[in-house]
A and B are shown apart, each in its own frame.
Chain A
Amino acid sequence: MADFSLLHRAALAGAKSGSFGPTQADGGITLEALPEGHVLQVLASPDAGDLAASIASVSDGSVYAVRAVGPGQWFVVGDAGLSASEFAKTQAALSGRASIADQTHGRIRIGISGAGGEAVLAKGTAVDMHPDQFPVGRSTMTLIGHITAMITRTAADRFEILVLRGFAESLWDELIEMGLEFGVDARTAP
Chain B
Amino acid sequence: MASLIACPHCGPRPKEEFTVRGDAGINRPAPDAGKDAWYAYVYLRDNPRGRHKEHWHHTSGCRRWLVVERDTMTHAVYSAVDAAVTGETV
Asked if B60 and A142 sit within 8 Å, CB to CB, the answer is: yes
CB contact list, A27-84 vs B, under 8 A:
69-71, 73
Q: Kindly state whether residue B14 has any CB partner on chain A within 8 Å.
A: yes
Q: How many residues of B contact A (CB 8 A)?
A: 16
Asked if A142 and B63 sit within 8 Å, CB to CB, the answer is: no
Min distance, Cβ B57 to any Cβ of chain A, angstroms = 12
Partner of B9, one of A71, A126, A128, A148: A71
Asked if A141 and B62 sit within 8 Å, CB to CB, the answer is: yes
Asked if A126 and B82 sit within 8 Å, CB to CB, the answer is: no
Chain B residue, CB-CB nearest to A143? B60
Q: Kindly state whether residue A122 has any CB partner on chain B within 8 Å.
A: no
Interface residues of A, dominant DSSP: strand
Asked if A143 and B62 sit within 8 Å, CB to CB, the answer is: no
Min distance, Cβ B16 to any Cβ of chain A, angstroms = 6
Min distance, Cβ A140 to any Cβ of chain B, angstroms = 6
Asked if A70 and B63 sit within 8 Å, CB to CB, the answer is: yes
Name the B residues within 8 Å of A141 (CB-CB). 10, 60-63
Name the B residues within 8 Å of A143 (CB-CB). 14, 16-17, 60
Please report the C-alpha to C-alpha distance between residue A173 and residue B62 in the assembled complex, in whole angstroms: 25
What residues of chain A have their CB less than 8 Å away from a CB belonging to chain B? 69-71, 73, 126-128, 133, 140-143, 148
